[in-house]
Amino acid sequence: MKITKVTLRPVAMNKVVAIASIVIDDCFVIHDLRVVNGDKGLFVAMPSRKLPNGDFRDICHPICTDARTDIQESVLAQFEAEGGASAFEAAALVLSDEEVSVASV
């Protein structure tokens, strides 16, 4: 398995600093991975949905540790290449300010 493309967009959602999409082997895409700035540092969370009982369940996830490591390393390498946490947090603030400006018009 090879991660052939990683795209990121900044967000301001609690500890989530970016939303990622990855392409695997130029033939399969996974959207809505979350880059989370947790208590022990950055990590990548898989896309999930909220169940009727309030729990969350992953929509998809790696089965083996090597695949999870490959995904996390690829996403976090791109995240750092694009400026890291401070750049994404600043971009998310700009986006939030623009949303407020548009809403008040």
**Which pLDDT band, with edges at 50, 70 and 90, does 55 fall under?**
very high
pTM for this prediction: 0.83
Domains observed in the chain = 3-103 (3.30.1120.40)
User: What kind and span of H or E run contains 71?
Assistant: helix 65-81
Read off the DSSP letter of residue 45.
E
Mean pLDDT on 69-87? 92
Residue 105 in this model has a pLDDT that exceeds 50 = no
**Is-contact 36 29, C-beta < 8 A?**
no
Tell me which of 95 and 74 has the higher pLDDT.
74
Closest residue by Cα to residue 4 from 20, 26, 19, 21: 26
**Which pLDDT band, with edges at 50, 70 and 90, does 98 fall under?**
low
The average confidence (pLDDT) of the chain is 88
Burial class, 27, CB count within 10 angstroms (exposed 0-12 / middle 13-18 / buried 19+)? exposed
